[in-house]
Amino acid sequence: MREFLTRLPKAELHLHIEGSLEPELMFALANRNGIELPYDSVDAVRAAYEFDDLQSFLDLYYQGMSVLRTADDFFDLAMDYFRRAHAEGVVHVELSFDPQAHLSRGVELSTQIDGLLRAMREGERKLGLSTALILSFLRDRSAEDALDVLEKAAPYWEALDAVGLDSAEFGNPPSKFAAVFERARELGIPRIAHAGEEGPASYVREALESLDVCRIDHGVRCLEDASVVDTLRDRRIPLTVCPLSNVRLKVVEDMRDHPLPTLLDAGLVLTINSDDPAYFGGGVLDNYLACHEAFEWSRETFAQLARNALNVAFMSDARRRELLAELDACQASDA
């Protein structure tokens, strides 16, 4: 099964690129930029990766990204992940980034985006990856701040495949950002949002109704409201589920308790993703393998999950046809 899941052409739709920062690269960038970390070794950093909840993770997440200062840093960050993902059979990566977390440290938006776009071009040229860029707003900051960032990104609007909403859910409902997402709609930029991870099922409905999103990141708590499940199923709204993340952040206690099988039985459009792979136990392949171990799904089920991701990814129709043909060939060779 590991060999099959590695060969399976997989798309990563829910990835925070700052969350792909491995401790080794963190130390290398800290040395390059003359930054002193509060850890004396890579092992000490990894030992800190035990989280009680989303907020305890976010505290370390923001501390780690302090080493990102130059366009080269953002380039190296993305390329480091692209190489790992490529080795695991990932063929398409959609990377979200949090510009507000860097702007508040004095890192210009152009520095962030220029480095990431350069890596995306390099990933396509050297690794054959297709990529998409998602500008995410921090929901624990004001809607006015988010709108300001969107307007500052005007030189890059054409390069953005979507805008998103992430960070601490509690007390920050999707409707808080309705005006920001309406502005993105006016600009013709697709919209996605985290909802129903720590927040309730009502946040999933809000994201659909107030933000007009085409995709829900996480969404596992939709099961608390049958009408929300019905809406997701009837409208074929994809969920980008991140199983290992849900376990690490105590959304569920154990993989065997994860609601993925129930979501699958409900007829929802599910995809499997890594979220923050450096912090949560691995990339897309590790998440597929964890599902295999917990649920013993068939190869057909995993192929359908991979197909779902390719069908809803932000990519050209030509690229989609190419990757779906690769998926068909992978299944046929395994028959």
55, 249 contact by CB (below 8 A): no
115, 70 Cβ separation under 8 angstroms: yes
Question: Is residue 197 among the annotated active site residues?
Answer: yes
Pairing of strands 90-97, 269-272: unpaired
Q: Looking at the chain, list the stretches that DSSP marks H as alpha helix, in order from N- to C-terminal side.
A: 2-7, 23-33, 42-47, 54-64, 71-87, 99-103, 109-127, 143-152, 178-186, 201-210, 226-235, 243-248, 260-265, 277-280, 284-295, 299-312, 317-334
Task: Please pick, among 169, 197, 198, 206, the residue that the annotation labels catalytic.
Answer: 197
Torsional class of 150: left (φ above 0), alpha (ψ -120 to 50), beta (otherwise): alpha
Across-strand partners of 11? 92
Distance CA 207, CA 191 (A): 10
CA distances from 264 to 169, 267, 281, 282, 305 (A): 24, 5, 23, 23, 10
Strand-pairing partners, residue 240, are 217, 271
- Token pair in block for residue 321: 């046809």
The span from the CA of 195 to the CA of 49, in Å, is 23
Sheet of 10-16, strands arranged across = 10-16, 90-97, 130-138, 162-166
Q: What are residue 94's DSSP bridge partners?
A: 132
**Phi-psi label, residue 167: left if phi above 0, alpha if psi -120 to 50, beta otherwise:** left
Q: Which helix (H) or strand (E) element contains residue 241?
A: strand 238-241
By annotation, the residues acting in catalysis are 197
